[in-house]
């Protein structure tokens, strides 16, 4: 009898049922979409960090930021051997430099052994982050060097000093990471798979061999067996690697043996980053504290610390979802619940005579409340089912479209060397080129988890119960005598 009466009442009030269910459906669908996108952004951030720091890396140790004016790095110096002069007097210049981060101090190579000796450290590996910059171009003949001795069109005005115009120059840069070939279980390449050839091996120490990132190799037209110029030296490409995440590149464009990187760059027996693997995930915080105490002048960062350096549209998407999306979901949910409560109370008010009659024939207050609550719960479940369908369809569309977001080291990471140790000074110019090369495009996916579905169902039931509680409270306060007096 209860079910029959419930079905008849809902069928007789289709408009109220549709409005209440629709409001809850929109709110539930929005909550599902926001939570799925938030999970997707979190996964994207994890992929970005995984490609850069390696799946086995729990902590990184880097040098502190250098004082302004310190560590200017190598400079381009063109002498008589730095270029060649053509018949028309144009000088062709070409030079490569392998440079460390100019505003980030390096660490003594012995730091790796110090880190490895700290309690709780399972493995440690040092790396030297560098940037290979090639400067090339043509410098026209100086106007005063012409046979006539007259100033050419590019010469400065009479009586003034200055340079001369013309010429064309090109600057190309790619990131280089010197790594210890004997250690593979921790560090950037622990999150890489071999596409072709092999990775660096212990026997490669002291030899000019290189492993390339797959994306960089494709863009540069390089393959295993080819040669690449690094710091003015020729390196044989012995392997091509790709990130284990299909949506991200590896930490650098080119990987070479650490000792070779130290010699070519002129940096000496130093490293820019020490990658650390803790013996247990439960001891990461303890190990981080111990390392900071052991190396007070260094910067010790965990994965959560490093996540704060990932910027670009990935950071923007995270902020948008966290702030706007969450508050919008809350507001819509509150509005939906308020509508459900108002419509339920309004419906109870219009059914005064009905409930008065039911009470007169023996219905108790609890039975009347149960009737109203049952109707509200069913309306909520209908809204929940519709919202679940809308949410799942919307999430499927997002995954089908596969929107792309970018991740990149934050500005201070580029200018100061950051956790990865690389970087260029000052912003603009070289820094802009490096920033464009370290930016990673990641396809955003919105995963559907069991708890999101459970939350949607729970919100539907909660919405029905809240509306039913207020409606039932209103119905329970009705006086049978007053209700029957309104019949006439």
Angle at 390 between CA 387 and CA 395, to 5 degrees: 120
Same-domain pairing of 295 and 331: no
HEC string of the chain equals CHHHHHHHHHHHCHHHHHHHHHHHHHHHHHHHHHHHHHHHHHHHHHHHHHHHHCCCCCEEEEECECCCCCCCCCCCCCCCCCEEECCCCCEEEEEEEEEECCCECCEECHHHHHHHCCCCEEEEEEEEEEEEEEEEEEECCCHHHCCCCCCCCCCCCCCCCCCCCCCEEEEEEEEEEEECCCCCCCCHHHHEEEEEECCCCHHHCCCCEEEEEHHHHHHHCCCCCCEEEECCEEEEEEEEEEECCCCCCCCCCEEEEHHHHHHHHCCCCEECEEEEEECCHHHHHHHHHHHHHHCCCEEEEEHHHHHCCEECHHHHHHHHHHHHHHHHHHHHHHHHHHHHHHHHHHHHHHCHHHHHHHHHCCCCHHHHHHHHHHHHHHHHHHHHHHHHHHHHHHHHHHHHHCCEEEEEECHHHHHHCCCCCCCCCCCCCHHHHHHHHHCEEEECCCCCCHHHHHHHHHHHHHHHHHHHHHHHHHHHCCCHHHHHHCCC
Backbone angles phi, psi at 140, to 5 degrees: -70, 165
pTM across the whole model: 0.55
Pair (20, 41) in one structural domain: yes
pLDDT, position 37: 78
Do both 459 and 366 map to the same domain? yes
Domain end residue (candidates: 307, 331, 348): 307
- Note the pLDDT of residue 327: 75
CB-CB contact of 127 with 178 (8 Å)? yes
How confident is the model at residue 468, as a pLDDT?
A: 78
The verdict on 270 and 364 lying in the same domain is no
Same-domain pairing of 159 and 231: yes
pLDDT of residue 427: 35
Task: Tell me: do 167 and 201 sit in the same domain.
Answer: yes
Query: Do 378 and 470 share a domain, yes or no?
Result: yes
CA 350 to chain centre: 54
- Residue found by looking up tokens 């949607």 in the block: 456
Indicate whether 340 and 264 sit together in one domain. Answer: no
| Domain end (from 307, 326, 352) | 307
Show the domain range for 477. 2-47+314-485
Provide the pLDDT for residue 22. Answer: 84
Specify the pLDDT at position 198. 94
264 and 186 together in one domain: yes
Provide the token pair at 167: 């010429």
Residues 373 and 271 in one domain: no
- Does one domain contain both 318 and 303? no
Same-domain check for residues 277 and 199: yes
Name the domain count of the chain: 2
pLDDT given at position 301: 84
Of 307, 333, 366, which marks where a domain is finished?
Answer: 307
pLDDT tens, per residue, the chain with 488 residues: 567 767 776 677 778 778 888 888 888 888 888 878 777 777 776 666 555 555 557 888 988 765 544 444 455 555 545 555 555 556 666 677 888 866 667 899 999 999 999 999 999 999 998 989 887 776 666 555 444 555 445 444 544 444 445 556 677 889 999 999 988 788 888 878 899 999 999 999 999 999 999 989 999 999 999 999 998 899 999 999 987 765 556 778 999 999 999 999 888 899 998 999 888 878 888 999 999 999 998 889 886 666 555 545 555 566 666 666 667 777 777 887 787 778 777 777 777 777 777 777 777 777 777 777 788 888 888 888 898 899 889 888 888 887 766 555 544 443 334 444 443 333 333 333 334 344 556 677 778 777 778 877 887 788 888 877 887 777 777 666 665 565 55
pLDDT at 274: 92
Q: What is the pLDDT of residue 88?
A: 59
Spatial distance between the Cα atoms of 284 and 289, rounded to a whole number of angstroms? 9
Determine the pLDDT at residue 478.
Answer: 66
Specify the pLDDT at position 67.
Answer: 53
Within 8 A by CB and 6+ apart from 451, the residues are none
């Amino acid at each position: 009898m209860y079910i029959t009466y419930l079905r008849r009442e809902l069928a007789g009030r289709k408009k109220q049922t549709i409005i209440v269910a629709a409001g809850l459906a929109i709110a539930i669908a929005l909550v599902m979409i926001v939570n799925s996108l938030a999970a997707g952004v979190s996964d994207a951030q994890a992929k970005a960090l995984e490609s850069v720091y390696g799946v086995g890396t729990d902590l990184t140790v880097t040098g502190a930021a250098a004082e302004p004016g310190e560590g200017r790095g190598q400079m381009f110096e063109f002498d008589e051997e730095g270029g060649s002069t053509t018949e028309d007097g144009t000088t062709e210049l070409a030079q490569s430099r392998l440079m460390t981060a100019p505003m980030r101090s390096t660490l003594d190579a012995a730091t790796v052994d110090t880190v490895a000796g700290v309690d709780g450290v399972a493995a440690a590996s040092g790396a030297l982050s560098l940037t290979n910059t090639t400067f090339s171009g043509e410098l026209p003949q100086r106007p005063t060097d012409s046979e006539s001795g007259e100033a050419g069109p590019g010469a400065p005005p009479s009586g003034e000093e200055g340079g001369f115009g013309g010429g064309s120059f090109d600057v190309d840069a790619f990131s280089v990471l010197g790594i210890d070939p004997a250690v593979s279980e921790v560090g950037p390449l622990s999150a890489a798979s071999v596409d072709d050839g092999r990775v660096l091996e212990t026997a490669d120490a002291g030899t000019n061999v290189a492993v390339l990132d797959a994306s960089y190799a494709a863009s540069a037209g390089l393959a295993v067996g080819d040669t690449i110029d690094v710091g003015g030296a020729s390196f044989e490409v012995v392997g091509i690697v790709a990130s284990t995440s299909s949506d991200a590149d590896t930490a650098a464009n080119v990987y070479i043996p650490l000792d070779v990187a130290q010699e070519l760059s002129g940096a000496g027996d130093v490293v820019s980053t020490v990658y650390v693997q803790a013996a247990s995930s439960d001891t990461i915080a303890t190990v981080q504290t111990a390392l900071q105490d052991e190396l007070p002048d260094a910067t010790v960062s965990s994965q959560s610390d490093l996540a704060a350096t990932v910027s670009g549209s990935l950071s923007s998407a995270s902020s948008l979802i966290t702030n706007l999306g969450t508050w919008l979901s809350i507001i819509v949910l509150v509005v939906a619940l308020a509508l459900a409560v108002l419509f339920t109370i309004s419906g109870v008010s219009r059914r005064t005579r009905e409930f008065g009659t039911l009470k007169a024939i023996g219905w108790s207050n609890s039975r009347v409340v149960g009737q109203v609550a049952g109707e509200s719960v069913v309306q909520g479940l209908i809204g929940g089912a519709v919202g679940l369908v809308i949410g799942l369809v919307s999430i499927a569309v997002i995954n089908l479209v596969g929107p792309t977001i970018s991740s990149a080291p934050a500005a201070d990471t580029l200018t100061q060397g950051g956790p990865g140790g690389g970087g260029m000074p000052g912003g603009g110019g070289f820094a802009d080129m490096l920033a464009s090369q370290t930016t990673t495009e990641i396809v955003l996916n919105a995963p559907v988890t069991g708890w999101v579905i459970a939350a949607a169902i729970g919100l539907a039931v909660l919405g029905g119960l809240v509306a039913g509680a207020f409606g039932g409270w209103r119905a329970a306060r009705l006086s049978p005598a007053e209700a029957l007096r309104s019949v006439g």
